[in-house]
Amino acid sequence: MEQKKYACLSGSTLKIIAMVTMLIDHIGAAILENGYYLNYINTSGTAVTTEQMTKILEIDRVLRFIGRTSFPIFCFLLVEGFLHTSDKKKYGFRLFLFALLSEFPFDIAFNQGILEFTSQNVMFTLFIGFLVLAVMEKYSDKPYIMLFGLAGGMGLAYLMRTDYDFKGVALIVILYLFRYRRVERTLFGCISLLWEPPACIAFIPINLYNGERGLKLKYLFYFFYPVHLLILCGIRYWLLS
């Protein structure tokens, strides 16, 4: 695919942008919301003052706004990985394995429990999206099966209550279907994100992608996701103890 002259970001650069914005997002979610705010509620406002809590929530809104950029980029990188991997089975297995490994850190970071099943981490969303893409590629000449695969994947994400659930799977499929058409990819991607408008900012770096791999960071995200959640939990415990 011919790249535009202004394309200047490699795949590894996009991955770093996504991880940094995800970290910023999770500082707000894990420490401010599930830390200070819950502590404020549970202690009837005796831990911090109302003015302090207001400032904390204002900071949280900024962090979460910035963090909305990460998920669409990860979805885009998933599609790129799916298209270019030499072994789709190993790729899918890695996603599933780290989805399982990340569930404990995810639960203690956001669900205040251990192996709590009211919601599942985003790696499950990416894994389900991967399975849908595999069905669509294999049965590309059978639109009814493709549609059934999409509906099944979206339904599974919804029932499992994965992070971003069926909406995340839909975005992955949009990025796959319009992978060679920037304008349509951006348009329909943003439409699918109307429920979370700040996430549309992600299409700025996505459209600056130059098609090159960049640095070899194959396993960085897989380990970064659960490890950074554990670290944030540790920081939260230290700050509130």
What does the pLDDT look like over 118-170, one tens digit per residue?
Answer: 899 999 999 999 999 999 999 999 999 999 999 999 999 999 999 999 999 99
Q: What is the pTM of this model?
A: 0.93
Burial class (CB in 10 A: 0-12, 13-18, 19+), 15: buried
Model confidence pLDDT, tens digit, residues 49-70: 889 999 999 999 999 999 999 9
Say which residues have a Cβ less than 8 Å from residue 161's Cβ, sequence separation at least 6: 118, 119, 120
The DSSP output letter for 4 is P
3-state SS, one letter per residue, for 155-198: HHHHHHCECCHHHHHHHHHHHHHCCCCHHHHHHHHHHHCCCCHH
Burial class of residue 132, CB neighbours in 10 A (0-12, 13-18, 19+): buried
